[in-house]
Structure 1
Amino acid sequence: MEEYLMKTQSNFFNSNPISIVILFAGTLLGLLTQNMMATILTPIINDFQISASTAGWLTTIYSLIASILVPVSAFFTKRYSCRQLFTFSMLTFTIGSFIGIIATNFEILLFSRILQGIGTGILMSLLQIAIYCSCSIEQRNKLMGIIGVSMGFAPAFGPVLSGLMSDAWSWKSVFVLLTIIGAILLFLSLLLLKNLTKQEGNCFLDKLSLLLSSVGFSGFTLGISFISQFGLKSAITLSCLTAGLLIIFLFIHRQFRISQPLLQLDTLKNKGMLTGTLFTFLLFTAFNGVSVVLPLYMQKFIGVSASVSGIVTFPGAVLVAVASLVSGFLADKFGFHRLTVAASIMLCVGTGLLLTLNTGSSLVMIAAVQCIRNFSIGLLIMPVTTWTLNQINTNLVSDGTAIINTVRQISGAIGTSCMLMFLQLFGVSTAFFFSLTLSILSLVIAVQKIKG
């Protein structure tokens, strides 16, 4: 990837600011959409008479699609022009959003989320690659700084916006808004977007690896969600879990056997890279699961509206971005070890406080607990990523980044399914205890393995 970026780099941002803005808007839309389902799952559950674990697939499938598309983003940007990719993405996203408007059952709504995930999943890396290819180093640093801050705040607004719209009109109004925005960006891309990347004719995609990763991780996550519906010992649950794990094993085995793997898993032979990847998996499994369960808890057990649950979680979501801004400075000042240990302790305390919540808990208390958790997570994400990539050679950084980004999406999907499964089978306390267990494991890794 690095050779590709260096080879295609040219300084023509000054003549193409509109193209960068369009790409930025599309990526922002994807991040906004990712968390919008969290606060409107309850009305969807009521409308379609489905379980919480089933409804959770509206969030899970989005993360799964992203985890599948992140590793192949380099192939897409080499094979197709920036304009082709963005136009296809917005067309797919807009069609998916429109299907969400007319959905008459859960299956159709889930299909709409799949199309949305495909559309925005392709964009995850496109903006960053376009900036690296088309901007000077000075322009690149400024743009990435602005974009980083903006994208840190974007996910915070999604649940609030969807909650307000759901209460004012209905949950389908969210899909109306997304359809309109998608259509506008599609029109602008056809009219104004220029190509900012250079294509290569000799790029290769291992289609079998793509198939194995798609089926394996989807099957395993589906098996987790089936536990709450059919029980752990049921044939369909065991079949999905066993088949999913077997196919994941075949996928991993294949990555070590072929010359051009989908993911360069050889980098995980480095103990530091393996440690950081495991920490990332635990962190995002705990983080994303609570982000979905907490709004459901407030709406179902405390009786607040979708908009109120979004407003309560909003300060914590903003603090993730705020903490991310200062995390680099704190890592430089105190070192990776001290920062990750302190932030991991804070995460354990915040998650432990979730276990004290009950139907009489005030919304201020819930917001405060979530703020503690999210601030600690914001302090961990970028420093741990930086520490992890520092453990491998520079020429492997792009491969390491692809692995970390993929693990983030997969862990988010698995975490959501696990939390909803525990919520439905054993209650909210067990779901929160599961998150606390993951947080404690993260603390152990931070204390024993993350140095520097």
Structure 2
Amino acid sequence: MIIGAFVAILNQTVLATALPMIMKDLKITASTGQWLTTAFLLTNGIMIPITALLIERISSKILFTSAMFVFLIGTIISASAGTFGMLLTGRIIQAAGAGIMMPLLQTIFLLIFPRERRGAAMGLMGLVIAFAPAIGPTLSGWIVDSYDWHYLFIVIIPIAVLDIILSFIGMKKVVELKNKKIDYLSIVLSTGGFGSLLYGFSSAGNDGWSDPAVITTLIIGVVFITLLIWRQLKIANPILEFRVFKYPIFSLSVILSSIVMMAMIGAEIVLPLYVQNIHGESAFHSGLLLLPGALLMGIMSPITGRIFDKVGAKWLATLGLAILVGGTIPFIFLTADTPLWYIILFYAVRFFGISMVMMPISTAGMNALPNHLINHGSAVINTMRQIAGSIGTAILITVLTNVTDDGMPSKSLAVTNHAAYAKKAMDASLNGMNAAFLVAVIFAILGLILSFFIKNKPKEGSSAKYLQK
């Protein structure tokens, strides 16, 4: 399951540094090419809430194998694509399978491991949640520099085939099935609501918050999700059980996970821009500079999971968020002369802190739920992470763009004194990046404050009372 989820989540960011080559090869614009990532995230985000319903109606073995098969079909289509339409179709089919992976993985892990070992199990999931997207740009840069962009998908095909074979051998039925009546209106509201919200926040980063399409889709998303929540609380068989928010620690874990995701996005979006635009490094090298941080998180996630099993989430989360704050503050002071070792060091410090927070706080939240609500809690927490990632990206890109635009010199200066214009333009870009990191620091500080409301280690059977008074 970890192998399947790893390659599925890896595909969220694998096109990041390959887009210029794809645009040139398929003769498309940047705005069109961006849909290869946006459509993947949208489809992924739409599928996650629906997965809570699928988990209860379809055998976990059949569901996992089917999701991997759908993902494989999408990968094959993408690998053989000769047109933008074919590549986009492949990406959407990939995402339909990938969207099922994380909630299913989380649900099954929490059911097959006892509570006292769930931290270690969920620590392994940290490899998937943060490590896979983090190495995506580096892997993508190396492949497109060395080979054709089609190899981004070709290398995944044998892994997916092997995983499907392994699932036939090793997967078992885990989740107790329920023959619930499907409420199709809820599916429509979920798809329209989460799809519109994700699209709105994703578009806001590029088009601005005042764009009519952004405003319209955000309003539609809010209305649909409000109707979805109202309907789920009224009907006998909800597709997504929002009563999970009655458990305080679960609600707190959702908020903290979302905040950490928003803070994490800051480095992953802004730092490559800094390394490429200010230092003039290639896309591959910018990804390579961030790889040590991703590797550190991959190593630390299982370790922090085991520590969680012994001491609980409180001090792990508090210390991790303090480290995240301390590791983000130096990026507020980036200059044109900041050495690259500085970037590598403090980016790794940030991810060390995140590894102490992300999975432990998610595990604490999921431990607060009774077993029959775990699949719904998993769908909710993964959906909120997707939305938080989109919101964080939109906010940081908006801040970066607005501060940069405000500081840009007059075009006339480029004619009279090109050197002075270039210097002022670089300063404006740096100010925008520093401002974006200031917002990321604020996110992290907010998370640090909230972490003090977690109890150190819950007693068995008191999962509904994790919040300190």
Shorter-chain TM-score bucket reads 0.7 to 0.9
Q: Does 1:436 align with 2:441?
A: yes
What is the deviation of 1:316? 0.7
In structure 2, the residue matched to 1:196 is: 172
* Residues paired across the two proteins, number: 424
> Where does 1:144-183 land on structure 2 (aligned, <5 Å)?
144=121, 148=125, 151=128, 154-182=132-160
Provide TM-score, normalisation by structure 2: 0.76
Contact 2:43/2:92 (8 A) holds in 1: yes
Following superposition, the deviation at residue 317 of structure 1 comes to: 0.9
Percent identity of equivalent pairs = 32
Matched AA of 1:164: W
Structure 2: runs of 5+ lacking an equivalent? 405-431, 457-469
Distance in 1 (CA, whole Å) between partners of 2:385 and 2:56 is: 24
Please give the secondary structure, in 2, of the residue aligned with 1:162: helix
Residue of structure 1 in register with 2:196 after alignment: 219
Secondary structure of 1:407's aligned partner: helix
How far the C-alpha of 1:260 sits from its partner, in A, is: 1.9
Aligned pair 1:92/2:70, yes or no?
yes
Tell me the distance in 1 between the aligned counterparts of 2:355 and 2:309: 16
Distance 1:347 1:175 in 2: 34
Taking the aligned partners of 1:330 and 1:87, their CA distance within structure 2 comes to: 32
Report the 3-state secondary structure (helix = DSSP H, G, I; strand = E; otherwise coil) of the residue aligned with 1:123.
Answer: helix
Instruction: In structure 2, give the amino acid aligned to 1:303.
Output: G
In the superposition, relative to structure 1, how do residues 432 and 83 fare at CA in structure 2: closer, same or farther (>3 Å)? same
Per-residue deviation, 1:439:
1.4
Q: Is the 8 A contact 1:77 1:197 kept in 2?
A: no
- The code of the aligned residue for 2:230 comes to H
1:340 touches 1:380 (CA, 8 Å); kept in 2?
yes
Give the aligned partner of residue 311 of structure 1: 288
- Cα deviation for residue 266 of structure 1 reads 1.5
CA contact (8 A) 1:289 1:418 kept: no
Shift of 1:97: 2.5
CA drift of 1:397 comes to 4.4
Pick from 365, 368, 373: which aligns with 1:388? 365
Q: CA deviation at 1:374?
A: 0.6
Q: Following the alignment from structure 1 to structure 2, what is the Cα–Cα distance between the partners of residues 378 and 90?
A: 27
SS in 2 for 1:355: helix
Q: Distance in 2 between matches of 1:121 and 1:249?
A: 22
Structure 1 residues 254 and 290: alpha-carbon distance in aligned structure 2, compared to 1, 3 A threshold: farther
Flag the 1:229–1:146 CA change in 2: closer, same or farther, 3 A: closer
The answer to whether the Cα contact below 8 Å between 2:103 and 2:378 also exists between their aligned partners in 1 is no
1:402 aligned onto 2:353: no
Change (3 A) 1:451 1:322: same
User: Which of the residues 219, 222, 231 maps onto 1:242?
Assistant: 219
Find the aligned partners of 2:223 and 2:106 in 1 and give their Cα distance: 34
- Partner of 1:40 in structure 2? 18
For 2:120 and 2:368, how far apart are their aligned partners in 1?
27
| 8 Å Cα contact 1:290/1:419 also seen in 2 | no
Q: Is the 8 A contact 2:290 2:347 kept in 1?
A: yes
Q: Is the 8 A contact 1:316 1:370 kept in 2?
A: yes
Alpha-carbon offset, residue 288 of structure 1: 3.5
Q: Does 1:30 align with 2:8?
A: yes
How far apart, in 2, do the equivalents of 1:115 and 1:282 lie?
Answer: 29
Aligned counterparts of 1:360 and 1:318: Cα–Cα separation in 2: 26
Check if 1:206 corresponds to 2:183. Answer: yes
Deviation for aligned residue 1:88: 3.5
Shift of 1:327: 2.4
Query: Cα 1:245–1:328, aligned 2, differ >3 Å: closer, same or farther?
Result: same
Preserved CA contact (<8 Å) 1:221 1:417: no
**Rounded Cα–Cα distance in structure 1 between residues aligned with 2:441 and 2:132:** 26
Shift of 1:377: 0.6
Task: Provide the residue aligned with 1:120 in structure 2.
Answer: 98
- Give distance in 2, aligned partners of 1:301 and 1:170: 27
Tell me the alpha carbon deviations over residues 279-302 of structure 1, each in whole angstroms, 9 at most, x when there is no partner. 111111222353244334423432
- TM-score normalised per structure 1: 0.78
Shift of 1:230: 4.5
The offset of 1:274, in angstroms, is 2.1
Provide the residue aligned with 1:451 in structure 2: 455
Q: Which runs of 5 or more structure 1 residues have no equivalent in the other structure?
A: 1-22
- The answer for the alignment partner of 1:255 in structure 2 is 232
Check whether the contact 2:51–2:379 (CA below 8 A) recurs between aligned residues.
no
Q: Deviation digits for residues 297-341 of structure 1, max 9, x if unmatched?
A: 423432222322222111111222333233245556766433322
The offset of 1:378, in angstroms, is 0.5
Task: Provide the rounded CA distance (Å) in 2 between the counterparts of 1:282 and 1:408.
Answer: 9
Alpha-carbon offset, residue 168 of structure 1: 0.9
